Structure 1
Amino acid sequence: MGSLIAEEARLAEDIGAFIEATAPALLDERQERAAWGGGAFNALALRLFEYQYQASPAYAEYCQRRAVSPEHIAHWREIPPVASSELQYFSPAAALGKGLRGQPLKQHQLYLYLTALMPNLRAHLLPDLTEHDRLRIITVARDPEPDTEAVLVFSAIALRFADSDSASYTNNHLGVAAALSKAEAIGEQVCLMGHAHALAQFAEHCRSVGLSFRLNPRSRLLFSGGLERERERMYALFERVFGINRLWCVRMYSPAPGGSQFYDTALRLRACGREVSADSDYLCGPPWVRVFIRSQAGGSRLPETKSGYVTVCDLSNFSNLMVVQSADLAHPLPPTSGGRERFALI
């Protein structure tokens, strides 16, 4: 057990160093090929697989039933994914009695989660802000809040970039309206955050009483959840009520508990000097995550235009499992010139 604990600390440190080294590629496409290529990712993935295999007897048995063990594989693609709905049975966190959500993490595990979270979030939501910039962050919250992953992200961005007038409003339409009215009156840039349903519910309330806002044109909106088929209607509602163009609306997608998030790319592409169009409506991950689409029958990676389940190999998902298959369907898209995988949810 002592050697496993020692490897846990070394591995977290090495993965953290990889994340910090490759994070600049999120906003510098000249670094993409180096960040997404080479063998460093695979070497770390194999080490993390061995650690998770040894730390969770249930996961080891799961892999053995599929004739997979650390000494017999050479590439992360050979690691069998576990369905996100079954992580509680197989993850090292569950094996050690920590649970998947809401429990304290060891210091180096928390460090790794935050190290992965912030550069990815900044690149996609706040690429135009410096370390010293602050803006008004208004969070539309629900009680109870079912999306704990989103709460962590919202809290992290608020702690880092919120000004003194920022606030979170739980089931409080009047409070949100007053905060937006104040920001509108002084031309303050706003970041509006919340679950899609909470934001849509507030926007529908505003529309029903004839209330709308024309926020600073550099205002933006971050949301989690929502149905893919309702997204266009929701964007139109947000633009009508808040005055925030859809290209400044950023969707957050979390395929696995405790892992990295995926975001809409329009703001990041603009910050990279790229033209943004309807073809830019896709999701892609950071350099410490690989994503592939598996067939609904559980097969291997699919060619373009086929649909299947989003499956991720995420180095930052240290306490749960690295290779996870979500319940979400997507179309794979051609990778970027630097090798970055892309996909569109269905």
Structure 2
Amino acid sequence: MDTLASPVAEILDFIAQESCTDAQFDRLALRLFAYQYAASGAYRSFCQRRGATPRQVKSWHDIPAVPIDAFKALELRCEPSSPAERVFMTSGTTRADNRGRHFHPRLDVYDLSMTLNFAQRFMKGAAHLPMGILFPDEEALPNSSLAHYLSLAKSTFGSSGSRHFMTPQGLDLPGLLATLEDAERQGQPYALLGASYSFVHLVDALRQQGRRFLLPPGSRILDTGGYKGQSRELPLESFYADLSQALGVPRSDCINMYGMTELSTQFYDDGNAAVPSVKSGPHWIRSRLIDPATGRTVAPGARGLLVHCDLGNFNSVTSILTEDIGQAVAGGFLLLGRAQGVEAKGCSLAVEEFMRAAAA
């Protein structure tokens, strides 16, 4: 096998399958590991330091996971830079000059991953819905993976009249309220999608005006990304209770998407009637939980740091170590917050280890 041959065609075929076996997932994960080991010097050095080579690695569980902060320090890529590539960057809420970068020489893998998963988990059989996007478009934020994700949702699944309601001046509240009034009056299901903090601003504005909506059955909401210092922070229970009450959408149709710039695939829940909700992904991404101090998989039922193996990440690394705490449950995992204390220290040590290896 030519380890440097592009794996894109195989990935696209794999994503297009309805499902896969454990053996099929492992086969492609190992193919991608061999490709990335051969093509990325920084990643190869890290793997060699851990004694993980294509000969030793036998399963996706064995693939060394790169801490997400490494995306801030190095260009993790297999293909050379090109004028056509897209670069998605993290939001930089801690330091604007120190943002993680994910290089996409082509977006067909990302886009197929997004649309197939979104159709199943958010659209749930509906071909199109009128959509309101509470986030800037790609022209305003060309390096935002979320801007691309939401624009792709609108262009692929949004019916006529779907639009962005976030302008350079902020939320177009009059336009949004008029649109929601029309949907309510006409009995037309409506979908609202955006960053979690945008919904906080919308709910606050409705409360100040003493207004509430009862959107028609079939309406749904997608929030993602948390608050990022852009709004007041709410406990999950309060957030979804307020959202459902303000817009008249059942909490079971208030769906949260969990994703990150460093991934090419998203996780969803099946609504937030109860929180925290169970997150799960499609067949081309798998997750495990590790003890940050040892790097070993935690015991069943224990909490740990989430590691994701995303076969859509063909140009960077398939396996990333997040700073998110999770717990495995039936059907997926619970997202329990960011690493703190000992867990955060484990993340920092993982970054230091990666940087030492990459510099060797």
What interval of TM-score do these two structures reach, taking the shorter chain for normalisation? 0.7 to 0.9
Using the TM superposition, give the Cα deviation of residue 84 of structure 1 relative to its aligned residue in structure 2, in angstroms: 1.1
Letter in 1 for 2:47: C
- Contact 2:195–2:225 (Cα < 8 Å) also in 1: yes
Partner SS for 1:204: helix
Higher relative contact order (CA 8 A, sep 6+): 1
Partner SS for 1:292: strand
Distance change >3 Å, CA 141–CA 279, structure 1 → 2: closer
Partner SS for 1:71: coil
- Contact 1:290–1:312 (Cα < 8 Å) also in 2: yes
Question: Bigger shift: 167-176 or 145-154?
Answer: 145-154
Distance change >3 Å, CA 94–CA 223, structure 1 → 2: farther
2:193 maps to 193
Identity of aligned residues (%): 27
1:345 equivalent in alignment to 2:335: yes
- Contact 2:278–2:334 (Cα < 8 Å) also in 1: yes
1:92 to 69, 73, 77: 77
Distance change >3 Å, CA 121–CA 17, structure 1 → 2: same
2:128 to 111, 134, 138: 134
Structure showing the higher helix proportion among its residues: 1
d(CA) in 2 for partners of 1:145 and 1:211?
A: 31
- Contact 2:291–2:304 (Cα < 8 Å) also in 1: yes
Letter in 2 for 1:124: R
Using the TM superposition, give the Cα deviation of residue 173 of structure 1 relative to its aligned residue in structure 2, in angstroms: 1.6
d(CA) in 2 for partners of 1:306 and 1:147?
A: 36
> 1:195-344 residue pairs with structure 2 within 5 A?
195-226=195-226, 230-255=235-260, 257-266=262-271, 278=274, 281-334=277-330, 336=331, 342-344=332-334
Question: Bigger shift: 197-206 or 79-88?
Answer: 79-88
Count of paired positions: 309
Structure 1: stretches of 5+ with no match in the other structure: 26-34, 268-276, 337-341
Structure 2: stretches of 5+ with no match in the other structure: 90-101, 228-232, 337-360
Using the TM superposition, give the Cα deviation of residue 232 of structure 1 relative to its aligned residue in structure 2, in angstroms: 1.3
TM-score with structure 2 length normalisation? 0.79
1:181 maps to 181
Using the TM superposition, give the Cα deviation of residue 94 of structure 1 relative to its aligned residue in structure 2, in angstroms: 8.4
Letter in 1 for 2:15: I
- Contact 1:100–1:257 (Cα < 8 Å) also in 2: no
1:115 maps to 112
> 1:21-36 residue pairs with structure 2 within 5 A?
21-22=17-18, 25=19, 35=20
TM-score with structure 1 length normalisation? 0.82
d(CA) in 2 for partners of 1:165 and 1:142?
A: 17
1:63 equivalent in alignment to 2:47: yes
Distance change >3 Å, CA 93–CA 65, structure 1 → 2: same
2:92 maps to none
- Contact 2:134–2:195 (Cα < 8 Å) also in 1: yes
d(CA) in 2 for partners of 1:101 and 1:93?
A: 16
Using the TM superposition, give the Cα deviation of residue 38 of structure 1 relative to its aligned residue in structure 2, in angstroms: 3.7
1:13 to 3, 9, 32: 9
d(CA) in 1 for partners of 2:65 and 2:123?
A: 32
- Contact 2:131–2:163 (Cα < 8 Å) also in 1: yes
Letter in 1 for 2:130: R
- Contact 1:253–1:262 (Cα < 8 Å) also in 2: yes
Moved over 3 A (4+): 93-100, 102-106, 142-147, 277-280
d(CA) in 2 for partners of 1:138 and 1:279?
A: 25
Question: Bigger shift: 295-304 or 96-105?
Answer: 96-105
Using the TM superposition, give the Cα deviation of residue 71 of structure 1 relative to its aligned residue in structure 2, in angstroms: 2.3
d(CA) in 2 for partners of 1:136 and 1:279?
A: 27
d(CA) in 2 for partners of 1:152 and 1:301?
A: 34
d(CA) in 1 for partners of 2:277 and 2:323?
A: 21
> 1:157-168 residue pairs with structure 2 within 5 A?
157-168=153-164
- Contact 1:94–1:100 (Cα < 8 Å) also in 2: no
1:29 maps to none
d(CA) in 1 for partners of 2:50 and 2:87?
A: 24
d(CA) in 2 for partners of 1:254 and 1:45?
A: 20
Distance change >3 Å, CA 147–CA 236, structure 1 → 2: farther
The Cα offsets for residues 216-236 of structure 1, whole Å up to 9 and x where unpaired, read as 121000111226972211111
d(CA) in 2 for partners of 1:12 and 1:58?
A: 21
- Contact 1:259–1:314 (Cα < 8 Å) also in 2: yes
CA RMSD of aligned residues (A): 2.6
